[in-house]
Each structure stands twice: as C-alpha cells, then as structure tokens.
Amino acid sequence: MADIDSFKEKLRTLVTKFEKDKTHYRSKGYPEAQVRIDFINPFLEALGWDIENKAQKPPHARDVIVELSPETTGRPDYNVRTNGATKFFVEAKAPSVPLDDVHHIMQAKTYAWSTKEVYFVILTDFEEFRLYDASLRPNPRFPDEGLILNLNCSAYPENAERLWELSKERVEQGSLEALLPKDTKSKRLRIPPDKSFLEDLTIWRTELAKDIHKRNPEFDVKLLNDVVQKLLDRIIFIRIAKDRRIRPDRELWEIVAQWREEAKRKSIMSHLKDLFHEVNDDLNGDIFKPHACETAEVDSGLLAEIIENLYFPKSRYRFDAIGVELLGSIYERYLGSTIRVTPQRVKVEEKPEVRKAGGVYYTPKYIVNYIVKNTVGKLIEGKTPRQIEKIKILDPACGSGSFLLGSYQYLIDYHLKYYREHPKEAQTQYFDFYLKVGPEDLSLPLRTKAMILRNNILGVDIDPQAVEITMMSLYLKALEGERGLLPKKQHLLPPLGNNIKCGNSLISYDILEHTELFDDETKSRINPFNWNSKSTGFGEIMNPSQSPLGKGGTQGGFDVVIGNPPYVRIQAMKEWAPVEVEFYKKQYAAASKGNYER
C-alpha cells in the first residue's frame, strides 16, 4: 500500500529520469501514449491508484478507467474513482504540447464541468502539472480561472505533500473537498451546467421567437411556440448525437461554414431542411417529421449564431457528459415558461400556474429511482423479456419525462441482466455479436431498446412542448451507449405518437357539454383528453377484450401508473384556472374541498 514516504521516493526517481533525458521527452517524436506509460501511470500508481486493476475489482468498482484511444472518444484519459464514484479526471498530453493552450485547457475542464458531479481535473504532460477546479463554468476568455495548483516537475519533490492530497488514501478521507476554493469570486463562478444551459436556451428561445414573429406575423402564439421549440429541439438533438458519435462530426457547423462560403446567398434553413430530412430517413422517430418550422422564415444570422454557440470555442458543453436525466431537469424548468405575444413585444415569461406555485420543482433522480424500483421493479421481478412485452407503464402527467426515463432505464438494465444470465437466449434471439464479446461487455442492441420503448412506455401531458421533450429524451436514452455511427436509412427509432399523447389527463370531452364555462381560448388551454379513443387516446389498452394485463388477465388498463404530480392549493389554482377548478369539484369528490393533486 502506498504511503507518503514511498510516494516521495518514487516521485524523485521519476523526476530524475525525466530531467536526465529531457530533450528526448520534449521532442515531437515522443508521443502521448508513451508519456502515459513511462511517467503518468507510475505517478498515479505512486499515489496509490490501481491503474491495472491488480485487485481484480469488477468493472463498475475499479479504481481507474483508462481511455486507450481518447482521441476517438473525446473523453479524459483517466477517470479516477473511489467506490465507483468519479473523484477527478486526468487529461494527458505529450511534453511537446504546450499546456497553456486554450483548447487543451477547455477540453480538460468542460468534460468534468458538464458531468455536474466531478469538481476536479488534472492536465499534465508530467513535465508540468495543472490542477483545476472544474466546478467553475469554463470561460475560453479566462482559461486559467479555477487553477488550484500549477507545478513544474522540478518542483514536485518539494511539493510532495501537496500532491499527496490527490492520493487514494487522502481522497478517501475527503481531501478534495478541502482543496475546493471558497472565495467569493469562485462561488459566483460556480454555475452548474444545467443552470448555464437553461440560461442559454432561454436566450435562444427569446431571440428566435422575436425574429420568427416579425417575419411570420400570420403565426398565432401556439404555432410560434411550436416552431421555436421544434427548431431548438432538432438542433440540440443533432448536436448531442454528434458528441455521442452516432452522427457525423460537425455537420451543423459545416452548414454554417457553407452558408458563409456562399456569401449568404441561400438561407441556412434551406441547408438545415436537407439535414432534417436525412436524419428523419436514418432514425425515423417523431422529432424530424415534416413540420411548419421547415417553411418558416428565420434569420440565417441568428441560426448561425445559435449553432456556433453549441461548438468549441464558444460552447462550454460536452453533451456526451451531460446525461439525459440532467437534460430532463433542464427542460422541466424550461417548460415552466412560455412565449407570450403582446402588441408591444414578444417575450418568454413564466406560466401563470408556475408563478403562483413559486417556481418549477424537478423530482430528484434518487426519488425517481426509488419509486420506479418499488413499482416497475416489483412488477417485472422474475419475468422473462417476452412476458414483459405486454406490461404498460403510464405517467399521466409526464412533464419532461423523468419518471418515464427512470422506468425505461430500469427496463433496459433488467433486460441486460437477464440476457447476461441467459446467454443462449441472448445469442439466439437478440445478440448476433454475442460470441465476439464477453457477457460483461454485452449491451442491448438498439432494436431491442426500441422494442422496449414501443411496448412498455406511455405518457400523457397537457403541454404539447412537454410531449415533444419527453419523446426527445426517450430517443436520446435509446441511443445512449451506441458505439459508433449508425447505419443510414434504417428508421432505427420507433414512432412515439401512439405512446406519448397530448391532453388533460383529468378532463374528458364531457366538459364540452358545459358551454357556459368557456370560450375557444379556454377550451384550447384545457385541452380535453379521451382515454378510450383509439386514435387520440389509449382505446386499445383501455378495451378489456384487447389489452390483457401482464399476467394474462382480462381487465383493460395500465399495469403501472407512475409519477409525482405537484401539490397545488385549490385556492391559488382558482386564480389561473377557474374553469378547471369548478369542473374538478363537480367531477371528483377529493377536489370538493381542501387541497388536491393535479
């Protein structure tokens, strides 16, 4: 086991070795892969980190995950962990590469910051060692913000005790927390990626709304919201797919470059439409189906600015590090506001119900996981994949899809565990490549994940934008873990129009009989929903003769109804939804007095 004395001795040996042949190690012929073997691996091992997993821990618990080909993944070279939780990343460079290059610093910092969970990153070529506070929002104008420690290798021995704070022994004792700067400036700059991305989304949404309203005055506010949302969702989806390497590199960026090369003669939308149609042919799904956003007049300069702000050097986000669940929390708050048009201005503002409730509250991931485990988990326990195919899981107020995402992930994990334990079924039914990999390396094929999504996951929300965001999140979850560019024109994703519906879960079309209660605007806001409709509802599931439960019963309906609707005081709700309140009170005994869940 490593200790401070043995670390000091090994450190001196490594420094002496480097100094002796410094000219060779600094030459361009000495590659990064070799400096990792000769110096960085021994350095981390001297700190007590088990680089080679000599302890033979399972993959999820090993000390260090080493990226053998980081240039193809874009992830940091070393992921250093305790008890399966990442504590810091290490980005390695060859000594011939200057570490003060903005690109290298941003590369190291943005991945860690984008995870929201990792606060430290080391950038080193062994000759120099830089430790950064990666909880600060990366800023390419001030790349060295958050620099905690900067040492030349000649100074390592005299700073051995400071470096020892990064040892496994000290990290397990909580040393990293003490290294985090607590000054006022650092606290001010400690803006997490979800808050930062929401700020950017709000700016882009506002600017697009103003421009599209100006150029397309015939659009009503509902269509304006829809067009802005669809454009942003498509651009962000393609950008996320690029970072996850399932779409070609920089295809949005190249559209902007082409537009500039053409001296801006054609609109960017003409190029974007071609890309949207290509993505639709490749993936299918619902996000890229023909839509009014493709014919809307939009300022090309504004679209170019949005796209460029999603790429380095202007972008500070790594979308392969921002998980789908974190995106969901961003979009949940995004859905709390809407575009409003007045005679004087176009602006994005909080919805009345959000303003009255004091903001949007996103259900924490651990609560989602707990509820899913004790509902979906209990129901599918001991079942085969074929038995699970008939199970229907519903969130009747899905929002940005947090509970559906949690349920979907649980089903994916369960299927993967089942096939690892039943290799013959994996080989014969779903996994053509099973013989080429070991059970621990097995992952569900995309077609299997698509089948689970189509068969099991269902949702409703009154907000059409929430429906689209839920679909996008579920598609991204299905694509999560894919290992390379996807095949062309295979329609890999299932349409979700029959899975995720738009409507008011609590109010059916019976309300239309009470014509004295509402005008057309109120009717549109209420958005009634007919559960028994085969076209717009879930008629085939609700029909007892067509939708047996997972155990083979004859009762129609859903096997799991999951979610966590917000608690709403009926007294406050009267201010922004008086018609619904009166209807609820007549329809539901629980709503006739006190408070109730909506």
Give the pLDDT confidence of 483-503 residue by residue, as tens digits.
677 778 778 899 999 999 999
CA distance 109 to 119: 9
Same domain as 554, residue 416: yes
Domain end point (choices 189, 221, 244): 189
Res 453 pLDDT > 90: yes
Same domain as 254, residue 176: no
Give the pLDDT confidence score for residue 326 in this predicted structure.
Answer: 86
Q: How many domains does the chain have?
A: 3
Tell me how far CA of residue 215 lies from CA of 204, 299, 366, in angstroms: 16, 9, 45
More confident residue, 282 or 552: 282
Domain end point (choices 170, 189, 208): 189
The arithmetic mean of pLDDT across residues 417-439, rounded, is 65
Same domain as 138, residue 82: yes
Same domain as 309, residue 271: yes
The arithmetic mean of pLDDT across residues 526-535, rounded, is 88
Same domain as 316, residue 280: yes
The arithmetic mean of pLDDT across residues 66-73, rounded, is 68
Give the pLDDT confidence score for residue 508 in this predicted structure.
Answer: 83
H-type alpha helices, 381-489: 385-388, 402-421, 423-425, 446-456, 464-479
Proportion of the chain above pLDDT 70, given as a percent: 85
Range of the domain at 41: 4-189
Same domain as 385, residue 327: no
Give the pLDDT confidence score for residue 595 in this predicted structure.
Answer: 56
Residue 582 belongs to some domain of the structure: yes
CA distance 534 to 557: 13
> Which residues lie closer than 8 Å to 138 by C-beta, 6 or more apart?
106, 109, 110, 113, 316
CA distance 451 to 454: 5
In this structure, which amino acid lies at residue 194? D
Residue 352 belongs to some domain of the structure: no
Gap between the terminal Cα atoms of the chain? 57
Give the pLDDT confidence score for residue 576 in this predicted structure.
Answer: 55
Give the pLDDT confidence score for residue 61 in this predicted structure.
Answer: 87
Beta strands in 140-238 (DSSP E): 147-152
CA distance 236 to 471: 14
Res 296 pLDDT > 70: yes
Domain end point (choices 189, 219, 238): 189
Residue 567: strand pairing partners: 597
Res 446 pLDDT > 60: yes
Tell me how far CA of residue 326 lies from CA of 187, 317, 320, 401, in angstroms: 21, 13, 12, 11
H-type alpha helices, 100-159: 102-115
**Model confidence pLDDT, tens digit, residues 300-322:** 999 999 999 999 888 889 998 88
CA distance 475 to 477: 5
Q: Which residue has the tokens 């966590």?
A: 564
Tell me how far the alpha carbon of residue 333 is from its chain's centroid: 14
Residue 355 belongs to some domain of the structure: no
What angle (nearest 5°) sits at the alpha carbon of residue 441, between those of residues 285 and 318? 55
Give the pLDDT confidence score for residue 445 in this predicted structure.
Answer: 86
Proportion of the chain above pLDDT 90, given as a percent: 60
Same domain as 128, residue 12: yes
Res 454 pLDDT > 80: yes
Res 291 pLDDT > 80: yes
Give the pLDDT confidence score for residue 535 in this predicted structure.
Answer: 87
Give burial (CB, 10 Å; 0-12/13-18/19+) of 175.
Answer: middle
CA distance 353 to 337: 10
Res 32 pLDDT > 90: yes
The arithmetic mean of pLDDT across residues 87-102, rounded, is 95
Res 436 pLDDT > 50: no
Residue 227 belongs to some domain of the structure: yes
Residue 358 belongs to some domain of the structure: no
The arithmetic mean of pLDDT across residues 260-282, rounded, is 91
In this structure, which amino acid lies at residue 370? Y
Residue 520 belongs to some domain of the structure: yes
Give the pLDDT confidence score for residue 320 in this predicted structure.
Answer: 86
More confident residue, 35 or 579: 35
Q: Which range has the worst mean pLDDT, 169-183, 275-289, 342-356, 383-397? A: 342-356
Give the pLDDT confidence score for residue 40 in this predicted structure.
Answer: 97
Give the pLDDT confidence score for residue 598 in this predicted structure.
Answer: 45
Selection from 60, 66, 112, 67 nearest residue 82 by Cα: 60
CATH of the domain at 172: 3.90.1570
Model confidence, pTM:
0.83
Phi and psi at residue 541, to the nearest 5°: -80, -40
- Which of the residue ranges 332-336, 436-440, 470-474, 545-549 has the most confident prediction, judged by mean pLDDT? 470-474
Res 427 pLDDT > 80: no
Res 354 pLDDT > 60: yes
Same domain as 387, residue 462: yes
Same domain as 223, residue 97: no
Q: Are strands 500-502 and 560-561 parallel, antiparallel or unpaired?
A: unpaired
Q: How many CB atoms sit inside 10 A of residue 446's CB? A: 18
The arithmetic mean of pLDDT across residues 390-406, rounded, is 94
Same domain as 370, residue 269: no
Secondary structure (3-state) at 184 = helix
Residue 217 belongs to some domain of the structure: yes
Give the pLDDT confidence score for residue 549 in this predicted structure.
Answer: 44
**Model confidence pLDDT, tens digit, residues 126-159:** 999 999 999 999 999 999 999 999 999 999 999 9
Residue 419 binned pLDDT confidence (cut-offs 50, 70, 90):
confident
Give the pLDDT confidence score for residue 518 in this predicted structure.
Answer: 63
The arithmetic mean of pLDDT across residues 230-254, rounded, is 91
The arithmetic mean of pLDDT across residues 14-41, rounded, is 96
Res 591 pLDDT > 60: no
Residue 148 structure tokens? 């905690």
CA distance 97 to 86: 26
The arithmetic mean of pLDDT across residues 21-27, rounded, is 96
Res 556 pLDDT > 50: yes
Same domain as 143, residue 277: no
> Which residues lie closer than 8 Å to 141 by C-beta, 6 or more apart?
none
Give the pLDDT confidence score for residue 181 in this predicted structure.
Answer: 86
Same domain as 185, residue 198: no
Residue 353 belongs to some domain of the structure: no
